[in-house]
């Protein structure tokens, strides 16, 4: 097993759910406890986008848990030649026999405190996606797909009963608060999801950061906790590289090494 793969699996398991129980009319899946020592991850494609990589990780972890049986995984729902959507997972809970339709989302959001409502504050680092929009899509499109004739047909063809299915989401997120912000309240969202901060290039240029070393992780490494085993760059080298990214309207994640085994995670935004 590659070290990177093991770190991806551990990063996924260690990322908290964005809320607990039921909020916004959506029930959060309680991910089973899985001991990584008992998991032998099989390689996942590194060329696919990060969200799809996390689907592979989640599937292998569910397979490793005695609590659930995966009945369907990444199953397309079609109407004629048109694909209406995809069912992420259909699970059977071992203890109760309950059938669960599970939709997985793994996101990185910055918290924009210029917006008053917490559920509207969460936006992607490049301002291309919003938590509120994704939440509405889960409720109004992904969950309802199973009740459309094409969705019922897929379940029937796989011998899965269509009544009494529970819809749940495994919605994991890493959140980044404004740099040097006062304590912020994001409830009913989970404050344990805050993993770092976001800032602008002028902040990064400041004396606060000049003594540190930096690493710009590949997107496949975003899930991973920062560690020593990377090619660290100086403050000056980092400013040059970050500036190039920002000119392309691409907000990079940074790992900041403040000392031996002392790391921070942040995003530098272009807007």
Instruction: State the DSSP H helix or E strand holding residue 11, giving kind and residue range, or none if neither.
Output: helix 3-14
Residues, the chain, total? 271
Helix (H, G, I), strand (E, B) or coil at 198: strand
Spatial separation of the C-alpha atoms in residues 187 and 241, rounded to whole Å: 36
Looking at residue 172, its pLDDT comes to 99
Q: What percent of the chain is predicted at pLDDT more than 70?
A: 100
pTM of the model: 0.96
pLDDT score of 37 more than 90? no
SS3 category, 140: helix
Strands (DSSP E) contained in the chain are 22-23, 26-28, 68-79, 82-93, 99-111, 122-123, 166-178, 194-200, 213-215, 253-259, 262-269
Counting DSSP H helices and E strands in the chain, the numbers are 7, 11
- pLDDT of 82-119, one tens digit each? 999 999 999 999 999 999 999 999 999 999 999 999 89
**Angular region, 37: left φ>0, alpha ψ -120 to 50, beta rest:** alpha
With 60 as the cut, is the pLDDT of residue 1 above it?
Answer: no
Q: State the average pLDDT over residues 120-147.
A: 97
Mean pLDDT rounded to a whole number for the chain: 96
For residue 188, cis peptide bond before it (omega within 30 degrees of 0): yes
In the predicted model, is pLDDT for residue 38 greater than 90? no
Q: Looking at residue 181, what is its pLDDT? A: 93
Identify the band that residue 171 occupies on the pLDDT scale cut at 50, 70 and 90: very high
* C-alpha angle 30-36-39 in degrees, rounded to nearest 5: 100
Mean pLDDT of 139-159: 96
| Contact call for residues 98 and 165 (beta carbons, < 8 A) | no
Packing angle of the helix pair 50-63, 3-14 (nearest 10 deg):
80
- Averaged pLDDT for residues 168-191: 96
Q: Of 38-42, 71-75, 120-124, which range is least confident? A: 38-42
pLDDT category of residue 46 using cuts at 50, 70 and 90 = confident
What pLDDT score was predicted for residue 23?
97
């Amino acid at each position: 097993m590659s070290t990177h793969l093991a770190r991806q699996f551990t990063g996924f398991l260690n990322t908290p759910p964005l809320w607990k129980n039921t909020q916004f009319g959506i029930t959060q899946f309680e991910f089973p406890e899985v001991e990584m020592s008992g998991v032998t991850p099989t390689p996942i494609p590194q060329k696919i986008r990060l969200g799809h990589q996390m689907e592979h990780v989640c599937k292998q972890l569910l397979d490793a848990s005695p609590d659930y049986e995966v009945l369907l995984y990444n199953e397309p729902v079609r109407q004629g030649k048109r694909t209406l959507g995809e069912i992420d997972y259909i699970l059977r809970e071992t203890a109760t026999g309950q059938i669960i339709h599970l939709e997985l989302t793994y996101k990185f959001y910055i918290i924009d405190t210029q917006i008053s409502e917490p559920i509207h504050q969460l936006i992607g680092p490049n301002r291309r996606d919003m938590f509120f929009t994704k939440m509405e899509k889960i409720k109004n499109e992904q969950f309802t797909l199973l009740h459309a004739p094409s969705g019922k047909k897929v379940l029937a063809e796989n011998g899965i009963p269509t009544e009494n299915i529970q819809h749940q989401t495994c919605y994991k997120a890493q959140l980044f608060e404004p740099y040097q912000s006062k304590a912020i309240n994001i409830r009913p969202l989970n404050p344990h999801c805050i993993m770092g901060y976001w800032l602008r290039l002028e902040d990064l240029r400041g004396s606060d950061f000049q003594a540190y070393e930096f690493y710009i992780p590949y997107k496949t490494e975003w899930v991973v906790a920062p560690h020593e085993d990377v090619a660290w760059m100086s403050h000056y080298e980092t400013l040059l590289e970050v500036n190039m990214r920002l000119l392309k309207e691409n907000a990079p994640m940074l790992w900041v090494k403040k000392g031996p085994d002392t790391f921070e995670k942040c995003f530098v935004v272009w807007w």
